[in-house]
Structure 1
Amino acid sequence: MARLTRDGFVKLMIKHNLDALVTPYLGPYGISVTSVLAIGGFPGISVPAGYDSKGVPFGICFGGLKGSEPKLIEISYGFEQATKIRKSPSFKP
């Protein structure tokens, strides 16, 4: 895992001078990069990104290198402010 992390994610982020890896977040039962981030000990943050045709929300995940939490918070906050996609729950039966 250490070799894959060093030669994969870390190398990609450094080589291309990236602030974050951006992927869809499909919740705890969907395929997501959040598991890979967690296994490698990397930070990630998921925020609302939209709703499907049935009104079910889905998110977007921003992941980064160790120590990049402030940058990830800044990026995710900027995304939320730019899209204003989140709706308050209605609690209708």
Structure 2
Amino acid sequence: MRDYKLDALVTPGSSVAPVLAIGGFPGVNVPAGYDSEGVPFGINFGGLKGSEAKLIETAYGFEQATKIKKPPTFKP
């Protein structure tokens, strides 16, 4: 990430969260869309230690740009 001057690593879903946590790296998962049944899915923004503020800023920017977040319509 430092070599390429990246602010965040973006991955679909939250499957990378345990890897980030084990390494002590921050991550934030935000809504990214809904499947055909209305079940929400997200993307994860991960970063280097100390990059929490930048990750929150990036995740917030994504949420504001996409306006994806809405109350779920599926029934468990």
Shared fold per TM-score greater than 0.5: yes
State the percentage of identical aligned residues: 76
Runs of 4+ in structure 1 displaced over 6 angstroms?
A: none
User: More helix per residue: 1 or 2?
Assistant: 1
Structure 2 Cα separation of the partners of residues 90 and 64 of structure 1: 32
Alignment of 1:2-17 (within 5 A): 13-17=1-5
Report the Cα offset of residue 69 of structure 1.
0.3
Q: Specify every segment of 5 or more residues in structure 1 that has no aligned partner in the other structure, as ranges.
A: 1-12, 27-31
Q: Distance in 1 between matches of 2:37 and 2:73?
A: 14
CA–CA distance in 2 between the matches of 1:25 and 1:57? 10
Q: Which residue in the other structure is 1:40 paired with? A: 23
Larger relative contact order, structure 1 or 2 (CA cutoff 8 Å, min sep 6): 2
Give aligned pairs, total: 76
TM-score, length basis structure 2: 0.91
Residue 5 of structure 2 aligns with an amino acid whose one-letter code is N
Tell me how far 1:88 sits from its aligned partner: 1.8
How far residue 89 of structure 1 moved from its aligned partner, in angstroms, is 3.5
Based on CA coordinates, which of the two structures has the bigger radius of gyration?
1
